[in-house]
Amino acid sequence: MAKKEVDAISGVETTGHEWDGLKELNNPLPRWWVLTFYICIAWSIVYWVLMPAWPLVSDYTHGIRNHSQRTVVAEEVAALEAARAGNAAALVDADLQTIKSSQDLLQFAMANGRAAFGDNCAPCHGTGATGFTGYPNLNDDEWLWGGTLDDISQTIHYGIRSGHDEARTGDMLAFGRDELLDRDQIRDVASYVVSLSGGSPAEGADIANGETVFADNCAACHGEDAKGMQELGAPNLTDNIWLYGGSIETVMETITNGRGGVMPAWTGRLDEATIKSLAVYVHSLGGGQ
């Protein structure tokens, strides 16, 4: 190889590259840089030996430490589950009142209940449990079947008209379809019912007659005062809170064709700790008794 030209001014050898009279000097790389470079090479060799590094055809080099992020995650999840299992077991053992009054258990039950509600209940009851037509709002203190911890727990366990042997059952009869009342009687009693909440009655309705029809046909379930009966799931008809709607048309439809909302049973589908968490969570929503 020909000897490289030496630059006259700096005395440094040039690389031989030249552009328009500018020559490139061949200065040595700074020592710190070269050193870092060799350290990196040494480090990478150590790394290849210790850690997973090179892809092979169907596998990869595992390295002496056989480290795997997957195993780390699996271990962390197992640890978390073990911690939760402790809490869940404590929930199963405690009764609902105890859970309510124990800071730790309550906190765990609330978090657990909120998550389970989002997964299982929100499709019917809404994310904020505010409900839809036919699906009750669980935030208010109007309860069809009762708002104590035990009532709520029973509702969640066995459901309502769910087909489970211990499900809550009770029928709002189809007074029109089954010809228990004629059209005028339905108009009158519906008008009486909406008038209890300050709604507008049907034109030409005889509200006094409606009151009589009510006493004869409805009071057995909804109560003499129309304030409802939780053993039968018969709602309070005086508070202007409606499951199906309080317009005269909707109330006439309810009386004509009956109603029977179905809420699935959760026992067997959700574990006991989750059902307890849900009961505590729903009870805390504002209307718990």
The binder of ligand HEC chosen from 87, 105, 175, 202 (CB under 6 A): 175
Interface with ligand HEC (CB under 6 A), residue total: 50
CB of 62 or CB of 100, closer to ligand HEC? 100
Question: Hey, what are 84's tokens?
Answer: 């939760």
CA distance 248 to 190: 7
Q: Residue from 86, 163, 260, 286 that binds ligand HEC (CB under 6 A)? A: 260
DSSP letter at 20 equals: T
Position among 96, 105, 143, 157 found at the interface with ligand HEC (CB under 6 A): 143
Q: Tell me: does residue 158 bind ligand HEC (CB under 6 A).
A: no
What share of residues in the chain are helix, strand, coil (percent, to 5)?
A: 45, 10, 45
Residue 99 binds ligand HEC (CB under 6 A): no
Distance of alpha carbon 250 from alpha carbon 242, whole angstroms = 10
User: Considering the rule CB under 6 A, would residue 235 count as an interface residue with ligand HEC?
Assistant: yes
Select from 19-27, 61-69, 140-148, 197-205 the region that touches ligand HEC (CB under 6 A): 140-148
- Which residue number, 62 or 114, has a Cβ lying nearer to ligand HEC? 114
Residues facing residue 23 across a β-bridge? 18
Question: Using the rule CB under 6 A, which residue among 105, 156, 196, 273 binds ligand HEC?
Answer: 156
Q: What is the DSSP string of 74-129?
A: HHHHHHHHHHHHHHHHHHHHS-HHHHHH-HHHHHHHHHHHHHHHHHHTHHHH-TTS
Label residue 175 left, alpha or beta by phi (over 0 means left) and psi (-120 to 50 means alpha): alpha
Q: Is 126 in the site for ligand HEC (CB under 6 A)?
A: no
Interacting residues with ligand HEC (CB under 6 A) = 120-121, 123-125, 134-136, 138, 143-145, 152, 155-156, 160, 170-173, 175, 189, 193, 214, 217-218, 220-222, 232-235, 237, 242-245, 251, 254-255, 259-264, 266, 278, 282
